[in-house]
Homo-oligomer: A and B are copies of this chain.
Amino acid sequence: MRFHRQTISVEEAVGKLLQQIGPLEPEEVPLAEAYGRVLARSVAAAYDLPPFDRSPLDGYAVRAEDTIGAAPQTPVTLQVVGTIAAGEVPNLVVGKGQACRIMTGAMIPEGANAVVMFEQTEHPGHMGRTVRVKRAMKPGENLSRRGEEVRQGTCVLKEGTTVGAGALALLATFGTAVVPVRRRPRVGIISTGSELIEPDQPLVPGKIRNSNSLMIAGMVRDAGGQPVLFGRMADELEEAKRQLSQWIGQVDLLVTTGGVSVGDFDVIAALVDEPEFHLLFQRVAMRPGSPTTAFVYRDKLVCALSGNPSASYVGCELFVKPVMAKLLGKEAVTPTVTDAVLAEDYLKPCPYPRYLRGRLQVRDAVLYAYPDKNDKAGMLVTLHASNCLIVIPPGGRGKQAGERVRIYPLATSEQMLF
């Protein structure tokens, strides 16, 4: 198979992967541990919000009809019948000619239909028996009505939402003490290649340190999964099969890097010729990473990424992240591709679409994409500074500065846009 592989597009390849899987089972976590998790069920408003008519500011609850004609030069004097603090249930009624001192968030007392802010009264700090109101109020002015923000039963958070600060606020408000979320996918990470030594081992001639496994682990964490580092796969076929049969049961997805090409010792390329592995694809129309391979083993997906750092990175972004998003039941499974203006020439022709690392910048509301000038497949020095992939279409002459390009934005812990 090595030299005669069928080539499919990135989109077809992603489609083949996603067909194999569905969302993981839900589990329940306490609200305080829900940060970063993905909701397994939509959340509806448990009651009206606000739950009662309340004052949005500090002032006096009044009857609007009592303030007709009130102005700085012609204030209206009202009798103060009490004070309502936030959290209290008022035990008074505001009658004709009366007002009630009221604090932000407090329940509107019966009889009142507007709130005058302190600053529109005389001597606001003073708690006297009367208050002089300097402004005519309209009925309903400065009232937050029960249910005006959201009505009981309305869906406020959709299944598939990742729980961040804003979602935490909503879950807290509606008293969701236990949150139904998807189990985090366990993603096994395996390296291949006899040239690799681990980061804590001394460097020796001919070897390089394994940078892919920790990089993929970081990307798995970015995507909401739990990386499980299995170390290096044996070069020898039977031993590699034995390892895989041990590892596959411990995870929801396996990601390997390297060994997918046409080299004499490329173990993945050898594995997929074995009958127990169901090959999905072995060649994708893309650069870097055209030998990217995927297969199914014991009902689980194995994404076998090309081994050089840039190809592993792009492959993880294009293939592993959508798979993880689907396992997590996320609302959006594939990234939103958008348009940008290419900021600098990229004139290298390529038979396949090239997924070029780059950096986005906004100037005058226009989105510019700067290609990474160090984007050789092996290059990892500029990886950490990329925040998009720029798609250079195949054939022709590349793209010139000023031309429109498609981009995949990459939003991760280190890659803020702009």
- A85 and B264 in contact, given A166-B215, A203-B47, A367-B367 (Cβ under 8 angstroms): yes
A164-B218, A414-B162 given as contacts; is B409 within 8 A of A169 (CB)?
A: no
* A188-231 contact mask (Cβ, 8 Å, vs B): 1 or 0: 00000111100111110111111111111111011000000100
A296 to chain B, nearest CB (A): 26
Find the residue from A168, A169, A341 having the highest chain B CB count within 10 A: A169
Distance in Å: Cβ of A223 to nearest Cβ of chain B? 10
Residue pair B165, A209 in contact (C-beta under 8 Å) = no
**Copies per assembly:** 2
* Size of the chain A interface, CB-CB below 8 angstroms: 122
**Residue-wise interface mask of A (77-110) relative to B, using a CB-CB cutoff of 8 A (1 in contact, 0 not):** 0000001011111000000000001011111000
For A252, list chain B residues within 8 Å (CB). Answer: none
Q: Nearest B residue to A119 by beta-carbon distance?
A: B3
Interface string of A336-369 (1 = CB under 8 A from B): 1011110000000000000000000011111100
Please judge, given known A-B contacts A3-B124, A119-B3, A214-B168, whether A105 and B411 are in contact too, CB under 8 Å.
no
Name the interface residues of A246-271: CB closer than 8 Å to any CB of B.
261-266
Q: Is A127 an interface residue (CB 8 A)?
A: yes
CB <8 Å contact, A219 and B366: no
Would A169 and B214 count as touching, CB distance under 8 A?
Answer: yes
Question: Do A149 and B265 have beta carbons less than 8 Å apart?
Answer: no
Q: Which residues of B contact A144 (CB under 8 A)?
A: 378
Question: What separation, in Å, do the CA atoms of A150 and B379 have in the docked complex?
Answer: 9
C-alpha gap A246/B377 in the complex (Å): 55
User: Beyond A149-B376, A165-B219: 9 further Cβ-contacts under 8 Å?
Assistant: A56-B308, A83-B264, A86-B195, A87-B207, A149-B380, A166-B313, A167-B384, A168-B215, A411-B416
Residues on A lying within 8 angstroms of B by beta carbon are: 2-3, 31-32, 35-36, 47, 49-52, 56-58, 83, 85-89, 101, 103-107, 118-119, 124-125, 127, 144, 149-150, 156-157, 161-177, 193-196, 199-203, 205-219, 221-222, 229, 261-266, 307-309, 313, 336, 338-341, 362-367, 374, 376-381, 383-386, 404, 409, 411-418
23 A-B pairs with C-beta separation under 8 A: A31-B200, A32-B229, A56-B308, A58-B261, A83-B264, A85-B265, A88-B194, A103-B264, A103-B265, A106-B195, A124-B262, A156-B381, A161-B414, A165-B219, A165-B383, A166-B415, A168-B211, A169-B313, A172-B209, A173-B208, A176-B199, A365-B404, A366-B367
